Structure 1
Amino acid sequence: MPPARLSNRYFLVRAGESEFESSGVINTNPVSKTSVDSGLSDKGKKQSLRAAFLLKEMEACDSNCWIWPSITQRAYQAAEIIASVNGISRSYIVPEYSFLDARGLGAYEGKKMEDISEIYASDNLSPSIKPPPIDDGTPNESVADVFVRVTQLMSILETQYSEDTVVIVSPDSDNLSVLQAGLVGLDLRRHNELYFAPGEVRFVDPSSIPTYKRPASAVYKCLNPPKCVIKGL
């Protein structure tokens, strides 16, 4: 589990749309994560640029920050855009090689993006349900599997830094929605209610984590408007 109180400031960013996503195709096989088609589409570049300027408006990196992107092509490209707009040296970009991989969706690999709704329906039943397996090397990860990965990442960040700012850049929504659900105490089965759109930016408020309890029937709201939750294009 993440620590009850975080010692660092965290901003969660979903990279902009990839070429695969622009074609409406699910692609989560880690073998292709550095391929050109896993990179940002033209729309994704604009979304990532907007995210970079939103971080600037939020003063995320005014006193410097560390940028932790997945090594996945689109996430790393988004990190470079964020660094450029915010005046951050490339030496402060720390590529993450496994904990921030896009959630492996097994037999859904290559299917249409809208089919992800079937996966979320299973997630709503149990965080331990995995997508059906496939033999092409694509992992089939449950919500619980993703939670293990992102909490390991948080443990590393909390150990490595203290009172710093860290911008986490993920290639997909599930890494971030599962992480945020864990931090605010939301049932992991409902992580998709915290869905991140491509290019979306959210600030994690450490002081809110120990006491915040999400009402069962409430719509997710920003705890510190207007800067806590900002959506991209």
Structure 2
Amino acid sequence: MAALVASGELGLRNRYFAVRHGQAESNVQNIFVSNPAIGADAYGLTDLGMEQAKQAGEKLKTLLSPNCAEVVMISSCFKRAKHTAEIIHGLLGCAEPLKIDDSLNERDFGPYDLKDTSTIPFETWDDNVTDAVTNQHGIESVMNVLRRTSKLVKQLEDTYTNKNIILVSHGAPLQILLTTFTHIDPGQYTSVRHFDNAEIRELTDPNVLDTCTK
């Protein structure tokens, strides 16, 4: 299955960084919070999550200096992602205001929302490989996540040049988007190493710069 965006083929005009949100209350409770009607206003960062976001901001400040003002930051609408982005945005002193875009929202886990993450059977994950297109078991398909996230990258490419673009999102959407930059079949997205909380990775082709904030 072909990737929708390939940086080597397109010759990206901007530099992209993916950042997962800091530790959230949902992480501590080990539950899925994937419905924006719930997650936009609840299940925010823990104290540790806020500290992780600060550490990520400081790392990005060092990494991007002296061009911190040339940053465009876009976040998922979920509280845990927005708060992470707000902390990083403030530390970087970005010239442009923080943007919220639902394209970066968590993958919709449907009937598993607010349930323990261990409740999803292993065969459900295996179905990502055999059928990444269909919304199986009520869970948003891998390809739908890839379409919305890669479409955002295309829009950003059409809008900006020579910017440092930071995408603050969630583990699954970022893993899926990363397949685009590393030429991995989207259905195999779980083969991409999972993002830790507040981890930063530069989206490059074919290598990924891992500036993990642990």
Contact 2:36 2:77 in 1 (8 A): no
TM-score when normalising by structure 2 = 0.87
The match for 2:130 is 125
How much has 1:153 moved relative to structure 2? 0.7
Post-superposition CA distance 1:111-152 (Å, at most 9, x none): 21234573433223331243422xxxxxx3010110111111
TM-score by length of 1: 0.80
Verify: 1:92 aligned to 2:91, yes or no. Answer: no
| 1:229 corresponds to 2:210 | yes
CA contact (8 A) 1:16 1:44 kept: yes
Q: Which portions of structure 1, spanning 4 or more consecutive aligned residues, are displaced by more than 6 angstroms?
A: none
1:104 aligned to 98, 105, 108, which one?
A: 108
The separation in 2 between residues aligned to 1:71 and 1:26, in whole angstroms, is 16
Distance 1:57 1:196, change over 3 A: same
Give the one of 162, 182, 185 matched to 1:184.
182
Q: Deviations over 1:162-218 (max 9, x none)?
A: 121110000x1111111110122111122122221111100123xxx3xx4xxxxxx
- Equivalents in 2 of 1:51, 1:16: separation in Å? 9
Partner SS, residue 229 of structure 1: strand
Instruction: Please identify which structure carries the higher helix content.
Output: 2
- Runs of at least 5 residues in structure 1 that lack an aligned partner in the other structure: 134-139, 213-222
CA distance in structure 1 between the partners assigned to 2:90 and 2:80 by the alignment: 15
RMSD of aligned Cα (Å): 2.0
Alignment deviations for residues 46-104 of structure 1 (CA, whole Å, 9 cap, x no partner): 22122112212322653520111112111111111111222225x431111x2111000
CA distance in 1, matches of 2:107, 2:83: 19
Q: When the two structures are aligned, how many residues end up with a matched partner?
A: 205
Identity in percent: 24
Name the CA distance, whole Å, in 2 between partners of 1:47 and 1:34: 20
Please list, as runs of the form range in 1=range in 2, the aligned pairs for 1:144-155 lying within 5 A after superposition. Answer: 144-155=143-154
